[in-house]
A = this chain, B = another copy of it.
Amino acid sequence: MTINDDILAQLEHQAIEVPSWAYGNSGTRFKVFGTPGTPRNPFEKVSDAAVVNRLTRLAPTVALHIPWDMVDSFEDLRKHAEDEGIKLGTVNSNTFQDDAYKLGSLTHSDPKIRQMAIDHHLQCIDVMDATGVEDLKIWLADGTNYPGQADIRSRQDRLAESLAAIYERLGDNQRLLLEYKFFEPAFYHTDVPDWGTSFAHTLALGEKAMVVLDTGHHAPGTNIEFIVAQLLRLGKLGAFDFNSRFYADDDLIVGAADPYQLFRIMYEVIRGGALDPASPVSFVLDQCHNIEEKIPGQIRSVINVQEMTARALLVDRTALTAAQEAGDVLGANAIFTDAFYTDVRPDLAAWRESRGLPADPVAAYAESGYQEKINAERVGGTQASWGA
């Protein structure tokens, strides 16, 4: 099995958005470790993101997080990105760090706090207008820690109203993407805990509302590729947030924990047409590089997605369908795993070189001197982080 031209043509336009916050410091509630060279502002984050794209041609856009990435002039930030060869991407809202949001934001029982959270999203849409970005991604930390603390049902009703107010403000080409998450930071109930909830709300909102599937946001044992297939079937999969996990929302490098799961997800992506450039599904990383180097961590991540996509494209779907319809359980499984076990790395390295890219982007980064340069230059100031 080899990577042929047809497969390369499908890989040609693959794009994986990187998150600006991956270049800043992150950690756990126990400790956030700092590292030399960490950006101090959104411009430096964009520069780092651009390095990933230059070495891989896989990451043409960088997601923003408001207010972490607030700047005086988004025009300047957009121009800076374009100068670096990339574009600004999805705008992510944040309703979990203001003291007002301690007990909720879009679901809060106090209409003033709800309005404050709605207004924040309208401000995010302003940023989208200013930057030409089309996607607003909403991940809500809303939830409760103790049974009885709040009324689960009323919060759903208020959520629906708040989302409708935000949806109303969207421009013609803009989308509202609603992310779900099993738990954390809320520990008893979460207001958007599963795809069903996100689906129900986006269905009620309308066609410009779609679901975000973060691969780390599920209960233990959840079959994620099933959800991918289902949401694609229902026409409601808007975006992926890629990362990997062993336990909870570990936010590790995508593919690092269970590469076979990533393969199965990418197979359903392809099966469902979401690799097609015309597909509305966007692919975004959402990871934390708590202890490993950040830029190489991002390079490794986009390559992992590319390699696993290539493996999934290797599946002989004609033979697979025949085995499936013949009820040949072992045969069908073998066709599927043959693709997974095929080592696509040499072919992809050669292809990269043919496109003027380094065969090994991680090694190329190490040799580039970029890290040493930013370590030396980025002295003083406050390193970017979540600011928890």
**A252 beta carbon closer than 8 Å to chain B:** yes
The residues of A with any CB-CB pair to B shorter than 8 Å are: 26-34, 96-97, 99, 102-103, 109-110, 141, 145-153, 156-157, 182-185, 187-190, 193-197, 199-200, 218-223, 225-227, 229-230, 232-234, 245-248, 250, 252-253, 256-261, 264, 268, 271-272, 290-293, 296-297, 300, 315, 320-321, 324-325, 327, 329-330, 332-337, 340-343, 345, 362, 386, 388
Q: What is the CB-to-nearest-CB distance from A84 to chain B, in angstroms, rounded to a whole number? A: 23
A28 to B101: give the CA distance in the assembly, Å: 14
Interface pair A188/B386, CB less than 8 Å apart: no
Closest-by-CB residue of B relative to A288 is B29
Contact status B156-A229, CB under 8 Å: yes
Among B27, B321, B327, the residue within 8 A (CB) of A29 is B27
- For A272, give the chain B residue with the smallest CB separation: B153
Contacts of A187 in B (CB 8 A): 245-247, 250, 252
Q: Which residues of B contact A222 (CB under 8 A)?
A: 219
Query: Which residue from chain B places its CB closest to the CB of A317 in the assembled complex?
Result: B151
Known: A194-B194, A226-B152, A324-B151. A29 touches B333 (CB 8 A): no
A232: chain B residues at CB < 8 Å are 153
Instruction: Output the least CB separation between A67 and chain B (Å).
Output: 13
Contact B388 A184 (CB under 8 A): no
Instruction: Please pick, from B153, B248, B335, the residue contacting A233 in the complex, using a CB distance under 8 A.
Output: B153
Q: Which residues of the other chain, B, contact A334 by a CB distance below 8 angstroms?
A: 300, 362
Contact present for A221 and B145 (CB under 8 Å): no
B152 touches A292 (CB 8 A): no
Alpha-carbon gap, A97 to B32, bound state (A): 8
| Known A-B contacts A148-B335, A332-B150; A223 and B246 likewise in contact (beta carbons under 8 Å) | yes
Q: How far is the CB of A308 from chain B (nearest CB, A)?
A: 10
What residues of chain B lie closer than 8 Å to A145, measured between beta carbons?
250, 252, 290-292, 329
Q: How far is the CA of A26 from the CA of B196 in the complex (A)?
A: 32
Task: Contacts A33-B102, A148-B320, A223-B246 known; list 13 others, CB within 8 Å.
Answer: A29-B32, A30-B141, A103-B329, A148-B337, A149-B332, A153-B271, A156-B229, A188-B246, A194-B195, A196-B197, A200-B230, A221-B247, A259-B341
Chain B residues within an 8 Å CB radius of A96: 30-31
Does A329 lie within 8 Å of B185, measured CB to CB?
A: no
Top 7 A-B pairs, shortest CB-CB distance: A148-B336, A196-B196, A219-B219, A28-B185, A187-B250, A220-B220, A343-B343
Cα–Cα distance between A190 and B246 once the two chains are bound (Å): 12
User: What's the least CB distance linking A68 to chain B, in Å?
Assistant: 12
Task: Report Cα–Cα, A335/B146, bound state, in Å.
Answer: 12
CA distance A188 to B333 in the complex (A): 12
> Which residues of the partner chain B approach A109 to less than 8 Å between Cβ atoms?
324-325, 327
Which residue on B lies nearest to A248, using beta carbons? B248
Which residue on B lies nearest to A323, using beta carbons? Answer: B148
Contact B247 A329 (CB under 8 A): no
A152 touches B219 (CB 8 A): no
